[in-house]
Structure 1
Amino acid sequence: MATFLYKLGRLAFRRRIYTALVWVALLALSGIGASAAASAGSSFSIPGTEAQKAFDLIDERFPGSSVDGAVARVVFKAPEGQTMASPENRATVEEVVKALPAGSDQIGQVVDPYKANAISQDGSTAYVAVSYKVTTLELTDDTRTSLEDIGADARKSGLTVEIGGDALQAIPAAGVTEVIGVAIAAVVLVITFGSLIAAGLPLVTALIGVGISVSVIASLAGAMDFDSTTSVLAMMIGLAVGIDYALFIVSRYRSELADGHEPEEAAGRAAGTAGSAVFFAGLTVVIALVGLAVVNIPMLTKMGLAAAGTVVVAVLVALTLVPAVLGFAGKRVLGKKARKKLERERVASTPGKPNMGTRWARFVLRRPAVVVLVGVVGLGVAAVPAASLEMGLPDNGSQPTSTTQRKAYDILSDSFGPGFNGPLVVVVDLKGADNGEATVGQVSDAVKGVKDVVAVTPATYNEAGDTAMITAVPKDRPSSVDTENLVHSVRDAGGEVASDAGVKVLVTGATALNTDFSQKMNDALLPYLAVVVGLAFLLLMLIFRSVLVPLKAALGFLLSVVAALGAVVAVFQWGWLSDFFGIEQTGPVMSMVPIFMVGTVFGLAMDYEVFLVTRMREAYVHGEQPREAVETGFRHGARVVTAAAVIMMAVFAGFAGSGESMIKLIGFSLAVAVFFDAFVVRMAIVPAVLALLGDKAWWLPRWLDRLLPNVDVEGDQLRKTLERNTHGSGRGPDSDTDWNKPMARV
């Protein structure tokens, strides 16, 4: 592997113009494809669940119902002392109903509140229910604008008019905080390298890779039915790994230049050594993201595949475009200040003047047992809130209070009860029933008898009369644990009638779908962990030729991810520091976040494991003692790994400032997880454990050593080959201070 990547790096360096043109052409073509592509889809399904089966039955038996279409509720609130029954207020509502043409290209049905009893008991509130034939992201801008204009015109009457539902749901977009995150990454790169050229190179190449990936996702959005957040999540992960992977290649290139190699040789060696680590680190991330398919939820699978594709592009960019751009930069990646800094580092690397990484490693090695104990206990304390984790899916109640969706949600909650925003739909399949009407009545009575059901509407039948729908309104808000329990109670009540009458009774609706989704996430977490950790364990055995190092890496990951979940629960569920993070509504954690976080963080955690420990492995196979190897690994890798972790945290924290609740939660969880994993696990617990294990850390049974192929991530075979075949002919000037020789021609 190292030899192949060495040749690839040198080829990209020599053919830098062609390599750069290929990537620029890919960026242009993907951009053209994105601009010409159809809009993204937003269908959401959970195969095999009761809620999904009920949705499918409604779609089959009630043609034209558009169960997955967008919905809107135009909510009217009368001024103090008035009611919606007054002629003036009624006229305003009727004008809104007329302005929404039912049966048009996009609007399916519009329900007049005065004909459907959609008025609160005190008469102060009414709402017009609008169902659309298309999904939220398929709504045209004209349709959205028309809906907003209708609401604005209605407000002129003096009524409070807000629009709920998902029809006005905005597509997540990059904002100021994301830009700040990238800016912080740029500052960290400048500090790390001391050169604007070296700092700008990882940013430019990462942005090119992300641009291609996001454009391809946009091009495929219509055909693949990608969710609206897919491209944002891909951008988040792509930026983080893209910058970090380029950072490691550039850092190794500078190190090879400092050792006296000519630029082309330095680029090849950087690609062969750091590039090997990048390849396998990226592979662990891809395994973790592709592994999301085992959950068997199409939306999550697509998100994982899209993000994995972004990581693949980031790896390819790091292995080809980065060496090509280094060909244009040559030795200019080492500015005057950077050269002086490297000179100081070479001096500091002597036993008398250790650098910061060496000093930290020595501190850990002096008291490894204490470091392990403090690290494990600290992460354990942070993980305590995770025991109270509650999961659900967000509704308009989690929107910022300034939005019209949240205002409409609050008005409906106050006027009709908290559960009105999340009704349960009970579907009765009457095929084969002798007396369908009586059976539906029994189901309705059973549902009414369930505690915390505050209202049950009369049954609605399809044209064939073989299917009925009953709506039940819970007492509590949709995202509450009590409502989740109520879903199971209603199913139990309906199931008893169904078994006696020989019919099917299914419970669905957004609230029931969220409940099933959360349950499926819980059920899938352990199998997912087993698949992903198992595959990654085998991969790490290939890389490190060890059994205990991969085991230690996996256990460290579990510590960091549980601690991160604890932080998520404390902030987003319990409300600790919620004002600081701009969280207006606390409650259950979004169901998909824990498993998505587990997959992503596992991949990123293995990144740091590979980048840091390969340096230790490299020193160990070259004859150093275990403790010396740990110190050497930190002397060469701690500073760069620290910079990489800070960059990732900055990028993820930037997305944590998003106005979209899901993006905010994922950004926060990933930033915290990277902090715990990089600085507590990889930088403290890992070297301490390696010190305690000694030579045993690198033990591998002989029979297994013979079976496993040698991937040579540390570049040992490459180095031997170069020394044997070239006898140093690839080296540049022997003098470490000979920086002023003419740069290789570009």
Structure 2
Amino acid sequence: MAELLYRLGRFSARRAWWVIIAWILALALAVGAFLAFGGTMSSTMTIPGTPTAQVTDRLKAELPVASGGTGTVVFHAKDGSPLTDAQREAISDTLREVDGLEGVDQVADPFVTAGMRAEQAKKVEDGLAKVDAGREQLEKGQEQLDEARSQAEAAIEQAGSTPQLEATVAGLDAQQEELDKQDTTLKESEQQLLQGRDLLSASEELRTVSSSGSTAIATVVFDKPQQEITPETKEAVTKTIDAALPGGVTADYSAEIMQGEMQLGGVGEAVGLAVAALVLVIMTGTLVAAGLPILNALLGVGVAVAGAMALSGTVEMTSVTPILGAMLGLAVGIDYSLFILHRHRRQLKAGMPVVESIGLANGTSGNAVVFAGSTVLIALLALNVTGIPFLALMGTIGAVAIAVAVLVAVTMTPALLGLLGRRVLPRRGTPSGAHAATSGKPVKTMSAGSAVVRIVAGIGVLAVIALPAMSMRLGLPTGATEAADSTQYRAYTTTAKEFGEGANGPLVVVADLAKGVSGDDLVPAQAELGKQLMGVENVTAVAPIGANDEGTVLVFQVVPTGGPTSESTEDLVHDLRGRTLGLDGHDATLSVAGSASANIDISEKLSDALPTYLALVIGLSLLILIVVFRSILVPLIATAGFVLSLFAALGGVTAIYQWGWLGDVFGVSDPGPILNFLPTLMVGILFGLAMDYQLFLTSGMREAYAHGSPARLAVAEGVRAGRAVVTAAAIIMISVFGGFMFSHMTMIRPVGFALAFGVLVDAFVVRMLIIPAVMHLAGDKAWWLPRWLDRILPDVDVEGAKLERHHHVDLAEPREAAMR
């Protein structure tokens, strides 16, 4: 591999324009493919086969009206006063216009709904009043009838039975029969009215207009499932409402409506990139050299992201997926080019010819880049074994971004270096000749006591930081996690304030009946099941949505007492699932769907998949590192360090995004559960990045040890040789990831923080503090490898030591040769 990369580097340097044109064509093809074949990206995440997905699929077939995606629009009077009749009429007119939009199935006008509810309530109360009045008349009639019957019976007893008396009794019997019929009719009417009252009582908290009259909620039902609603349809809804909004009224939209297509290039990302550029300028001392890694990274991101988005027309892809690829591509793309650039500059300063230096840098540091990228790529591709489609696609797209970054680093970097020549070095103070490589102070080793202190202090700090992870809860973002000035946040908080927390996450509960109900039996069945559902803990309101034609599937909307991510709602979902309710001698089995239910299912599925994935990644890491470092202890130390970094990063994320620490700094308006796929994603990404730094630091130790330095001295020499470039690379990666902490997309923010913080603790605490101390205490044992294993392992020569010996350059040659 090293020899191949050496030749590739020299070829790219000599045929620079060929390489540059080839990459420009690749970018043009990727962008063209996106424009030609790109489709709509989903704003929601689903996992086939979960209980929620099964119920949703059934509803598509049994009751399509209950399977369409929904979103809410919150209308609110700016001054907090009740909405006027004119404002209500204007809102209703606007909603009728929205109802006619393409992609919208129906719109629930809050005022019509509230009016119908009030009308139904009045009808029920009037009906019950009539029943009471009818019963009073029946009672009076019964009293009169009973009195007449007593008189007739007394007459028969005194005078005996006569035809006239018998006729009187027969007439009284007929009157009694008529009264009984009227009583039966009244009872049936009363029962129906009481059932209606029960339904109205159960749905009392399902208000569409607040008790103050200042707020109204309109529900927009789309004709497609949530994940299939196009951004164009959502935009048409918001534009229509905003254009016709009456004066004095604001309209805020739920996250389901505002979630749209991917957007890159926000202020946060730009700031992160600017910090990375500043670090490069400080490190290289020249704008030309600093711009090279950034240019390469942007090129790689353009190819990878455009290529990934071209698949969105044929593959269901979430809008987070290409952003994750961009995040990784930027971070590693800068770092990988920097590693090769750093080696090349060091060789130029030592007096090596330009083209030879490029080839050698590509064969040594480029070789390390390939192996480092391979670890990240393997970890990301391993996400496919989780059995979770959207996560597997994230891993695959991320792996593609890494692969492109590696290819750009080992081809485009040599090409640009070939064009730039010695201009990558600062003009002043440029050392030349062999002396440039030999200057510096003698390396000192740490003491055993210092090593122990470093280990104890480092592990102690990471353990404390990791403590919050023990209380970590998983979920998906809601409107509460959006920026405080966003319409989604206002919609969520206003709904919670005016209508209760549960109104933001209603559940869809399906009752399966063994015996179908229809006609006059339907309402009584709905009322009875609704009454029983109201008796379940953590339920605030229940309303029937509909039933299938056979009457074997009854669907209800259930409003929980807590919000969609609360523990009480999670308990309610588990409580309802599998519960059976009694109905006329047979049972009704319940199942649950809805966004809150889907969130719970996805979180549990991811939690179940995490241990297997973590074991797979750790197992693969041990095998790779044993081959790379030809050691047993070093891979164990490296992997243990990764686990420390992982839990510390999870602890930091939990403290900020779930506990709310430093919420004002990181834009956390309302703390909540951690993004449910974040821990699994972190395992793959952070492991690969951690192994990057482990590789670049430990390979220097291995190289020094192989050249005859004592084990402890080799540790110090390796750290000294690699700490500058690793420090710069880590700061750059932290800056790039950190820029995404302030992304406009809620799901990206904790990912950006987790990766930035994970790289911070891994690079500076684990790799440059704890690992060298452990290696120092281990001494020669750190490099122990059984002889039988040493014989069968391939020699990957990750740092290209054999390549350097084979292509040795006399650095004492005249300066003219060095300039070639």
Which residue of the other structure, out of 386, 389, 399, is the alignment partner of 2:469? 386
Contact 1:608/1:678, CA 8 A, preserved across alignment: yes
1:225 is displaced (CA, Å) by 1.9
1:115 is displaced (CA, Å) by 4.3
Amino acid in structure 2 at the alignment position of 1:13: A
The reply on whether 1:560 has 2:645 as its aligned counterpart is yes
Which SS does the other structure have where 2:430 is aligned? Answer: helix
Residue of structure 1 equivalent to 2:5: 5
Residue of structure 2 equivalent to 1:242: 333
1:572 is displaced (CA, Å) by 1.2
Which SS does the other structure have where 2:665 is aligned? Answer: coil
Contact 1:617/1:714, CA 8 A, preserved across alignment: no
Amino acid in structure 1 at the alignment position of 2:25: A
Residue of structure 2 equivalent to 1:415: 498
Which SS does the other structure have where 2:251 is aligned? Answer: strand
Residue of structure 1 equivalent to 2:75: 76
Could you tell me how far apart the structure 2 residues matched to 1:718 and 1:347 are? 21
Residue of structure 1 equivalent to 2:182: none
Could you tell me how far apart the structure 1 residues matched to 2:771 and 2:777 are? 10
Alignment of 1:704-715 (within 5 A): 704-715=789-800
Could you tell me how far apart the structure 1 residues matched to 2:576 and 2:529 are? 10
The reply on whether 1:180 has 2:271 as its aligned counterpart is yes
Residue of structure 1 equivalent to 2:30: 30
Residue of structure 2 equivalent to 1:318: 409
Which SS does the other structure have where 2:357 is aligned? Answer: helix
1:739 is displaced (CA, Å) by 4.8
Residue of structure 1 equivalent to 2:56: 55
The reply on whether 1:271 has 2:371 as its aligned counterpart is no
The reply on whether 1:505 has 2:590 as its aligned counterpart is yes
The C-alpha deviation readout for 1:442-464, integer Å capped at 9, x for no partner, is 65444322111111112511234
Residue of structure 2 equivalent to 1:354: none
Could you tell me how far apart the structure 2 residues matched to 1:281 and 1:501 are? 63
Residue of structure 2 equivalent to 1:691: 776
Could you tell me how far apart the structure 2 residues matched to 1:306 and 1:277 are? 22
1:35 is displaced (CA, Å) by 2.6
Alignment of 1:205-604 (within 5 A): 205-337=296-428, 339-340=430-431, 346=437, 348-351=439-442, 358=443, 362-363=445-446, 367-430=450-513, 443-492=529-578, 494-495=579-580, 501=586, 504-604=589-689
Amino acid in structure 1 at the alignment position of 2:652: A
Which stretch of structure 1 is more off in the superposition, 681-690 or 72-81?
A: 72-81
Which residue of the other structure, out of 622, 628, 637, is the alignment partner of 2:713? 628
Amino acid in structure 1 at the alignment position of 2:561: K
1:396 is displaced (CA, Å) by 1.3
Which residue of the other structure, out of 87, 102, 105, is the alignment partner of 1:105? 102
Residue of structure 1 equivalent to 2:252: 162
Which SS does the other structure have where 2:107 is aligned? Answer: strand
> What is the number of equivalent residue pairs in this alignment?
721
Which residue of the other structure, out of 206, 215, 218, is the alignment partner of 1:128? 218
Alignment of 1:633-672 (within 5 A): 633-672=718-757
1:122 is displaced (CA, Å) by 4.8
Amino acid in structure 2 at the alignment position of 1:397: A
Residue of structure 1 equivalent to 2:40: 40
Which SS does the other structure have where 1:119 is aligned? Answer: coil
Which SS does the other structure have where 1:477 is aligned? Answer: coil
Amino acid in structure 2 at the alignment position of 1:98: R
Could you tell me how far apart the structure 1 residues matched to 2:316 and 2:509 are? 28
Residue of structure 1 equivalent to 2:171: none
Which stretch of structure 1 is more off in the superposition, 162-171 or 685-694?
A: 162-171
1:160 is displaced (CA, Å) by 3.7
1:159 is displaced (CA, Å) by 3.2
1:3 is displaced (CA, Å) by 2.1
1:432 is displaced (CA, Å) by 6.7
Gap change, CA 1:716 and 1:146, over 3 Å in 2 = closer
TM-score, with structure 2 as normaliser: 0.83
Residue of structure 1 equivalent to 2:144: none
1:17 is displaced (CA, Å) by 2.1
Kindly, what percent of the aligned residue pairs are identical?
42
Gap change, CA 1:59 and 1:341, over 3 Å in 2 = farther
Could you tell me how far apart the structure 1 residues matched to 2:799 and 2:449 are? 27
1:343 is displaced (CA, Å) by 8.9
Gap change, CA 1:488 and 1:66, over 3 Å in 2 = closer
Contact 2:95/2:241, CA 8 A, preserved across alignment: no
Which stretch of structure 1 is more off in the superposition, 74-83 or 214-223?
A: 74-83
Amino acid in structure 1 at the alignment position of 2:755: L
Amino acid in structure 2 at the alignment position of 1:429: D
1:559 is displaced (CA, Å) by 0.6
The C-alpha deviation readout for 1:626-681, integer Å capped at 9, x for no partner, is 11211221222110011000100111111112132211111111111101000000
The C-alpha deviation readout for 1:70-105, integer Å capped at 9, x for no partner, is x33222235778645x64343123202221134x53
Contact 1:195/1:338, CA 8 A, preserved across alignment: no
Amino acid in structure 1 at the alignment position of 2:812: D
Could you tell me how far apart the structure 2 residues matched to 1:149 and 1:322 are? 47
Gap change, CA 1:430 and 1:343, over 3 Å in 2 = farther
Could you tell me how far apart the structure 2 residues matched to 1:4 and 1:61 are? 61
Gap change, CA 1:534 and 1:311, over 3 Å in 2 = same
Could you tell me how far apart the structure 1 residues matched to 2:636 and 2:275 are? 34
* Greater C-alpha Rg: 2
Could you tell me how far apart the structure 2 residues matched to 1:576 and 1:13 are? 50
Could you tell me how far apart the structure 2 residues matched to 1:478 and 1:158 are? 30
Gap change, CA 1:717 and 1:558, over 3 Å in 2 = same
The C-alpha deviation readout for 1:375-394, integer Å capped at 9, x for no partner, is 11111111111111111111
RMSD: 2.6
Amino acid in structure 1 at the alignment position of 2:309: A
Could you tell me how far apart the structure 2 residues matched to 1:273 and 1:742 are? 19
1:439 is displaced (CA, Å) by 7.2
Which SS does the other structure have where 2:64 is aligned? Answer: coil
Contact 2:354/2:418, CA 8 A, preserved across alignment: yes
Contact 1:658/1:664, CA 8 A, preserved across alignment: yes
The C-alpha deviation readout for 1:363-406, integer Å capped at 9, x for no partner, is 47662111111111111111111111111111112222222222
Contact 2:511/2:554, CA 8 A, preserved across alignment: yes
Contact 2:2/2:797, CA 8 A, preserved across alignment: yes
Which stretch of structure 1 is more off in the superposition, 642-651 or 91-100?
A: 91-100
Which stretch of structure 1 is more off in the superposition, 49-58 or 500-509?
A: 500-509
Gap change, CA 1:503 and 1:458, over 3 Å in 2 = closer
Could you tell me how far apart the structure 2 residues matched to 1:450 and 1:215 are? 50
Amino acid in structure 2 at the alignment position of 1:565: L
Could you tell me how far apart the structure 1 residues matched to 2:562 and 2:776 are? 54
Which SS does the other structure have where 2:555 is aligned? Answer: strand
Which stretch of structure 1 is more off in the superposition, 390-399 or 4-13?
A: 4-13
The C-alpha deviation readout for 1:532-566, integer Å capped at 9, x for no partner, is 11112111111011111111111001111111111
Amino acid in structure 2 at the alignment position of 1:406: Y
Residue of structure 1 equivalent to 2:237: 147
Gap change, CA 1:95 and 1:611, over 3 Å in 2 = same
Could you tell me how far apart the structure 1 residues matched to 2:335 and 2:559 are? 50
Residue of structure 2 equivalent to 1:88: 86
Amino acid in structure 1 at the alignment position of 2:673: P
1:693 is displaced (CA, Å) by 0.9
TM-score, with structure 1 as normaliser: 0.91
Could you tell me how far apart the structure 1 residues matched to 2:677 and 2:447 are? 37
| Stretches of structure 1 lacking an aligned partner (at least 5 in a row) | 352-357, 723-727
1:697 is displaced (CA, Å) by 0.9
